Structure 1
């Protein structure tokens, strides 16, 4: 297959990141105006997007990997754990944070995951603490403080339950990032993420079966939003991001993917008219500073160093 041009890669990563960011805001619209159940939305998103990603693998890439991932018992168990504690945990906590709060705060809290990974690796003595790591963690902590308090200790700017879900989303993403490395040494990202989504969707189906939904109560507008979340905000966004790695470096894709929280913040404030105070913008700037610092750091922080030591073939995964 012909390698895409650099301009094509730029278009793919920017478009995919925009879709990811807008997806959270559209999900918030579904929760607030159409009373869509968060469990049902996460179930449908995981099942349909997972099948679509495996379809892409089947028609465009190495189709033998789709079933090949299940031939080794150890790999299969690893994949199931990843699907439940990684993919499902990330998707559910992120959507729950949006449901109880808003897409902007949920997305930014999830983006503190790299700082959590750094702390974990340092505590486990798997890497040494660098100046970049200290600055990164500090930016994340200070940014979260302003984002969640808007500069006032007397009250939080978003509900406590939304903050808890958002922090759990960051923790789940940190686990997701580290646990996926061995799987990516052997199989394409589309295969791993596609199956992980299906595993997570099937597990959640036992709690909220996708067929237990009054489909007639949804309007045409609601269905269009659902299509965007599942197809554009999940399947196409991830596919575009992975394809951009064919012509761009991981550092470039990481930097450009910072468009995602920017899109989430702007669409939440402008489209949904969510109140956003001055100090919340300051907190947002701190978190963006952390993202840019991670992307430009030559040492790529502890996260990338750990991944590099384990496998040169490892590609970054996205989950939003």
Structure 2
């Protein structure tokens, strides 16, 4: 009985530790999101951030981008080896990741979660965020690949750097800094080299592909801008939970995921769990945590680590080899990271 009681106390203490951790994370992200909103109204970019906040934001953004890159490789395995449709994967991971976000929000910031659901005037913003920052990001990228190819779609997606830079400069009523201009150019060049191997002939640009690619870039730019105000009010977990679940439910009538479940073996189910928990929940949580700490422009630039991670995992899992062009692309993105930092 005594051992059972001690075990019960340990479980209770662990639950309290988890609740305290989630509560601290929610408070920190709300505070940093509020600071990011204040920074955007300044005529000059804020360079006086504390080193701890800056490094935490950079780390979150980089890890989130790496996990996105790994998630792309995992999703490709699910689609090619298990015949899972891209929209099925997108719908399932949005719904379940949304539920995980909401569970964390209920534990870490229950008051903010209740307020989020009872503040009806914010419902239209939830819908806009879900459609633009979640649904359109997934659908536009898939159709961009369909009409062009993966390399072209990735290069077009990188146009979001220019969109975010224009927004930040217009919002702050300032000119772009030299570091920002050079950083955007290096990031774009690095992604282009990784995606196409430096071969202009690898770019395929029919009009529908161009339009879907630009729509994807627009959605990715919105991801670094639109949710910040909501996160300042309700926290990262709550906002992501509502928007992901809403997006998944919007896709459900069209995808009908229960009617087309792929024939997964044990490995397939584990990969699906990975893409939901790590590649979607953890990746988006970390990326948005980075956005509210270092700002949308820096976060968008550091997010270009995604194709680097995708290339590295492809080499590790498929036996492909790095080409000199790949290494040059890596170097350009790393130089960009140092400039932005």
Normalising to structure 2: TM-score of the pair?
Answer: 0.68
- Name the stretch that deviates more: 192-201 or 228-237: 228-237
Residues 145/229 of structure 1: CA separation in 2 closer, same or farther (3 Å cut): closer
1:43-62 alignment, distance < 5 Å? 43-59=91-107, 61-62=108-109
Q: Shift in Å at residue 44 of structure 1?
A: 0.3
2-structure distance, mates of 1:181, 1:260? 21
Root mean square deviation of aligned Cα: 3.8
Match of 1:32 in 2: 80
Summarize deviations over 1:32-71 as a string: whole Å, max 9, x none: 2222101110000100000011101112x11122232133
- Equivalent residue for 1:20, pick from 60, 65, 68: 68
* Contact kept? 1:148, 1:158, Cα under 8 Å: no
Counting matched residue pairs gives: 284
Match of 1:64 in 2: 111
2-structure distance, mates of 1:166, 1:284? 23
- Name the stretch that deviates more: 168-177 or 80-89: 168-177
Does residue 151 in structure 1 map to residue 236 in structure 2?
no
Residues 241/117 of structure 1: CA separation in 2 closer, same or farther (3 Å cut): closer
- Equivalent residue for 2:228, pick from 181, 186, 197: 181
Match of 1:266 in 2: 312
Match of 2:329 in 1: 283
Residues 232/264 of structure 1: CA separation in 2 closer, same or farther (3 Å cut): same
Between Structure 1 and Structure 2, which shows a larger proportion of helix residues? 2
Does residue 116 in structure 1 map to residue 163 in structure 2?
yes
Q: Shift in Å at residue 291 of structure 1?
A: 3.7
Q: Structure 2: where are the runs of 5+ without partners?
A: 1-19, 26-51
* SS of match in other structure, 1:127: coil
Does residue 84 in structure 1 map to residue 131 in structure 2?
yes
Summarize deviations over 1:216-261 as a string: whole Å, max 9, x none: x222222111111011222234446677999xx648x959877654
Match of 2:238 in 1: 191
* SS of match in other structure, 1:206: helix
Residues 130/15 of structure 1: CA separation in 2 closer, same or farther (3 Å cut): closer
* Contact kept? 2:304, 2:333, Cα under 8 Å: no
Residues 222/162 of structure 1: CA separation in 2 closer, same or farther (3 Å cut): farther
Q: Structure 1: where are the runs of 5+ without partners?
A: 297-320
1-structure distance, mates of 2:204, 2:87? 21
Q: Shift in Å at residue 26 of structure 1?
A: 0.4
Residues 287/15 of structure 1: CA separation in 2 closer, same or farther (3 Å cut): closer
Residues 182/87 of structure 1: CA separation in 2 closer, same or farther (3 Å cut): same
2-structure distance, mates of 1:42, 1:70? 24
* Contact kept? 2:129, 2:243, Cα under 8 Å: yes
Does residue 41 in structure 1 map to residue 41 in structure 2?
no
Residues 144/235 of structure 1: CA separation in 2 closer, same or farther (3 Å cut): closer
Match of 2:266 in 1: 220
Residues 276/287 of structure 1: CA separation in 2 closer, same or farther (3 Å cut): same
Normalising to structure 1: TM-score of the pair?
Answer: 0.72
Residues 280/164 of structure 1: CA separation in 2 closer, same or farther (3 Å cut): farther
* SS of match in other structure, 2:73: helix
* SS of match in other structure, 2:118: coil
